[in-house]
Amino acid sequence: MRRLVEIICISCGNPFMPKCEKNKYCTRRCFKKAYYHRQKAEKLLAQKTPSFTCPSCGQHITLDFDPVFEPYKWQSYQCPGCNTLMIEVCEEIKTQDEAIS
C-alpha cells in the first residue's frame, strides 16, 4: 500500500491531500475550470482558417471554411486565379500518386 503525500493542484496551485494517486485537482471546481480552458483552446485551434497554394496556378488561397468539416463546399470550390475545380485537382493528384506506387 502506497502512502499519499500532499501535492499541488494543477489549476489553482494550492497544496492538498489527494484521495487517490490519480487526483490532480483539489476540488471539482478546479477540475471544471481546467476542462473549460482545454475545450476553449481546442475550439480556437479548430477555428483557424485553412490556406493552401493552388497546384495549377500557384496562387495562395485562404479559405473561409474547413474542407474537412464541410466537404460539400470543397467539391464545388473554384480557384479564383485559374477557375479550376479543386476536386478535379485532388483527383489528378490521387491518380498520380497511385501511378507512382
Place of cell 485532388: 90
How far apart are the C-alpha atoms of 30 and 35, rounded to whole Å? 9
Q: pLDDT tens digits for 32-81?
A: 999 999 888 887 766 667 777 887 788 888 887 777 778 888 788 888 88
Give the pLDDT band (50/70/90) at residue 99.
low
The full set of domain ranges for the chain reads 7-46, 51-100
**Which is nearest to 26 in space by CA: 6, 41, 43?**
6
C-alpha dihedral over 19, 24, 29, 34, to 10 degrees? -160
